[in-house]
Amino acid sequence: MERDISKLALRAALWVVMIFSSGPLLGATATARFERDTVAVGETVKLSIVVEGGTPEFAPQPPQIQNLTSQYVGISQQYSVINGRASRTVTLDYSITPHQPGSYIIPPLSVGVDGKTLSTQVVELKVLKPDGNANDPNGLSRLAFLRLIVQRQEAYVSEAIPVEVQLFVQAAEDLQLPQISGEGFTYTKPIEAGRSRGQANGQNYNVLVFKLTATAAKTGDLELGPAECELTLLVQAPRRRRDPFDSFGDFSAFFGGGVERKRIKLSTAAAKIKVLPLPTEGRPEDFSGAVGKFSFHTTAAPTTLSVGDPITLTAKISGRGNLDGIQFKIPSSWNNFRAYPPSSKIEADPLGVEGTKTFEQVVAPEIGEIKELPALQFSYFDPEEKAYRVIRRPAVPLTLKAVTAAQAQPTVVASGAAEAMPAVKKDIAHIKSRMGKLAVIAPPLLQRPWFLWFHSLPFLIFIGVAAWQRRNEFLAGNPRERRRRETNRAVSRAIGQLEKAVQTQNKDLFFQTLFRLLQEQLGERLDMPASSITESVIEENLRPGGASEEVLSALHDLFQACNQARYAPDRVSGELESVFAKSKRVVASLQSLTLQSSK
């Protein structure tokens, strides 16, 4: 009975999608994907089947795999019209809960779409051992914990190793980006790769995923990590009787019985990685240290030219690996070409490990017998195949145009005979009877304005440089004034960004910008680092400094709105216009505020 009801609900939802769609849809596809492909035992993760360009006729049965519990959750759809063309995406969601650690392969799942049967690709789920509480002396792991995921336990030196840090948190504020230590590695800056909701150990969490790349700089048995992250937990406090004389600006009852703030540092255990040296056997002579998987393409132009003319040789190396470490040089055998210093640029993903590095090398042929640009090759080490690879590009034919010498002019030698020289007729130019403008005597230069301005220019430049130097010396001796000016400029830019976010109704951008604005402005007023500014400075610094209750209450409102937007986005309410107006009033009040004490 329940299964029949689920089918009816699915068909009803799909029928609504069909009503609002118009026009034929081409190239229907079905794709399977996990919201996170690495989880721990007992943690629930979502598996989605995304159907684009068609309407699924039924939801496939959940995959039946040993030690995995699968359950169909429901359907969602998205409809859009871009450039007059309708498109829709239907997503079928399943919850997957593993019970044993290991690697699980989800086979292709078949789904009927518009009378055809489509199959998804194979996806893999990696399951780790349950998280322990070794790094939780205060017993707060039920509210937040950190997980370090390293995709490789064995790697080669100079190989880019994907690293993932997962933060599970219920409610918090003042979150700092995770930091990873570990001798023998260089790390890229962590980037936030996604947010979702998840379950672990029977608790619901907000899951923040951060990704970065580690590159081994030496060989041996190394430790990558630990990963650490600082944040302020919002802990449910015991319900207490409210004092009727409490101010209405007290937000302690926001979570019902009140909130306690606890600043903690989460950490993980280090991951052990064995770093191997690059093999010497089979190493090409031109190998320059590239490790990864790459392609190599070259172009040259122009190919029809004269001796000494420049040729721009472009080499593009694309793929995945440590792009910064890739080097490209023309061989020393190109002794018949003059080479100029090369240039390079990188176009890569945010982690800087997948993309294209482009080299431009200008060369010029020095002799006319050259018929081609010699063949080129690029060598790299493939850590997956554990072997060196060489990619060769063929020679480029050249056409060198012959250089013709200018014809010599004949030398005329006088023979002494007057008749040998041709007579040259010259017209007689009469003397000009009227001098015209030449007769007008111009005023002296000292009486001309442009002459005076021109000679005054060096003096004016000297005065300007002196004033600029005086200003720099003043700011160098007054760091508070220098910071005030820099903060005012940053606040003006942030106000403009907030206004754009209000126009586009982009709540994420609005509250991120607002939080940074409050940190910068309060940090300048209190002479504190902007990164250390939290809501606690309102009571600890601003109230003792003589700030008005109106300003304090408004700041509480703004900080609370930012915290809700970051860690409880589903609870954000209110219009951005009103929050924007309040923000401008608070910033103006803070800029004119004179505190009795900055500490």
Please give the single-letter amino acid code of residue 194. Answer: G
Yes or no: say if 194 and 162 are a contact pair by the CB < 8 Å rule: no
Q: Tokens 């005076």 identify what position?
A: 452
**425: burial class by Cβ within 10 Å (0-12, 13-18, 19+)?**
exposed
Distance CA(357)–CA(314), nearest Å, equals 11
Structure tokens at 430: 């009469």
Yes or no: say if 275 and 302 are a contact pair by the CB < 8 Å rule: no
**Going residue by residue through the chain (599 aa), what tens digit of pLDDT does each one get?**
444 544 544 454 544 444 444 444 457 888 888 888 888 887 788 888 888 888 887 778 877 888 888 888 888 887 766 666 667 788 888 888 888 888 888 888 888 888 788 888 888 888 887 765 444 445 566 889 999 999 888 999 999 999 999 999 988 988 889 999 888 999 988 999 888 888 887 788 899 999 999 999 999 999 998 999 999 998 877 655 555 444 444 444 444 457 888 899 999 999 999 999 999 999 998 898 999 999 999 999 999 999 989 999 999 999 999 888 898 888 888 888 998 888 999 999 888 889 999 999 999 999 888 999 999 999 999 999 999 999 999 999 999 887 654 444 444 444 443 344 444 444 455 555 555 554 455 667 667 777 777 777 887 888 888 888 887 777 777 788 888 888 888 898 999 999 888 888 888 888 889 988 888 888 888 888 887 788 888 888 888 878 888 888 888 888 888 888 876 665 454 578 888 888 988 898 888 887 765 44
Element housing 94 (H / E): strand 85-98
Beta carbons within 10 angstroms of residue 583's beta carbon: 24
Beta carbons within 10 angstroms of residue 224's beta carbon: 26
Structure tokens at 235: 């802990």
Beta carbons within 10 angstroms of residue 214's beta carbon: 25
Three-state SS for 442-458 is CCCHHHCHHHHHHHHHH
Beta carbons within 10 angstroms of residue 127's beta carbon: 23
Question: What is the three-class DSSP state of 442?
Answer: coil
Structure tokens at 333: 């055998």
Distance CA(82)–CA(63), nearest Å, equals 35
